[in-house]
Amino acid sequence: MGRIITDSIEPSFSEWDGTSSNTGPKGVIKDWQRYKQLQAEKRDEQEKERLQLIKKLSLTCRSSLDEEKEKIMQTDPDLAELLTDEFLLQYQKQRMKEMLARTEKLCFRRVINLETADQFLEAIDNEDKSVTIVVHIYEPNVPGCEAMNGCLISVAENYPFVKFCKILGSVAGLSKHFKKEGVPALLVYKAAQVIGNFVHVTDYLGVDFYASDVEAFLIEHGMLVDKNCVPLITSHDEHALSDSE
């Protein structure tokens, strides 16, 4: 009679073949736990491989960049310095700061009241060469002067990068005849030079006019740019993007 094998043999869990070798509840649970363990180990291994690959690629890219920088350093050290991340970052910040400061400086959006002859000269001579300056010379109680001051407030809001000013003819040192017969007058300057001289504007507009009439008048004579004819891409602040002269 042959030997009867009574020892139980533990099933192998080295691999999961999708079936359970234990038919009892405890065996099924044990098999499931082993299956989850193998799945976790598989994910860990895949993650490890992924990290190794990333590290390898990173080192490869870093090596290529270092080689490229080394070549540039040998041929053009100044350019190599420009390519450093910290330098570029600081340059960009400084450039943006300068652009914003210049934009704020060249943005007016209001009518500036000039109270002295010196302020009149400074408003023209000390301004950026790219800025168009429109000066309204007026006198109280002269027909059209008050209307012009009111209209220019609205026009100034529509043309924030045009400098609008007003000054009394008596303050500007004009003759008594001009103060009576020449106002309201619009003088237009750019780069400290007169580019437009319109006296007694009521001869053109009458004494009852609107902001749109004043704007159209200045556009017609080439003192303002017609916004309806400006492409959208250039209708933004050109002063902020251009270099100082």
Same domain, 152 and 127: yes
Measured from the Cβ of residue 212, the count of other Cβ atoms closer than 10 Å reads 12
Distance CA 5, CA 171 (A): 125
Whole-structure pTM value: 0.55
Same domain, 120 and 202: yes
Q: Are 123 and 165 in contact (CB under 8 A)?
A: yes
In a domain, 54, yes or no: yes
Query: For residue 12, how many C-alpha atoms fall within 13 Å in the half-sphere facing its CB?
Result: 3
Res 62: pLDDT: 53
In a domain, 5, yes or no: no
Same domain, 215 and 143: yes
pLDDT tens digit string along 105-139? 688 999 999 999 999 999 999 998 989 999 999 99
* 50 token code pair: 């992924």
Residues shown for the chain: 245
Same domain, 120 and 209: yes
Same domain, 117 and 217: yes
Domain holding 83, by residue range, is 25-58+77-102
Query: For residue 134, how many C-alpha atoms fall within 13 Å in the half-sphere facing its CB?
Result: 31
In a domain, 234, yes or no: no
Same domain, 47 and 93: yes
In a domain, 7, yes or no: no
Backbone dihedral angles phi then psi of residue 133, each to the nearest 5 degrees? -120, 125
pLDDT tens digit string along 12-43? 444 445 444 555 555 666 666 666 677 777 77
Burial of 164 (0-12, 13-18, 19+ CB in 10 A): buried
Which residues of the chain carry a pLDDT beneath 50?
A: 1-16, 18-20, 233-245
Backbone dihedral angles phi then psi of residue 167, each to the nearest 5 degrees? -155, 140
**Nearest CA to 190 among 224, 149, 229?**
224
In a domain, 162, yes or no: yes
* 56 token code pair: 């390898």
In a domain, 226, yes or no: no
Distance CA 167, CA 80 (A): 55
Query: For residue 213, how many C-alpha atoms fall within 13 Å in the half-sphere facing its CB?
Result: 15
Q: Are 147 and 141 in contact (CB under 8 A)?
A: no
Distance CA 182, CA 180 (A): 6
Same domain, 32 and 90: yes
In a domain, 164, yes or no: yes
Number of structural domains in the chain: 2
Res 235: pLDDT: 46
Res 198: pLDDT: 97
Same domain, 116 and 216: yes
Res 236: pLDDT: 46
Final residue in a domain of this structure, among 47, 68, 102? 102
In a domain, 20, yes or no: no
> Residue 147 maps to which CATH number?
3.40.30.10
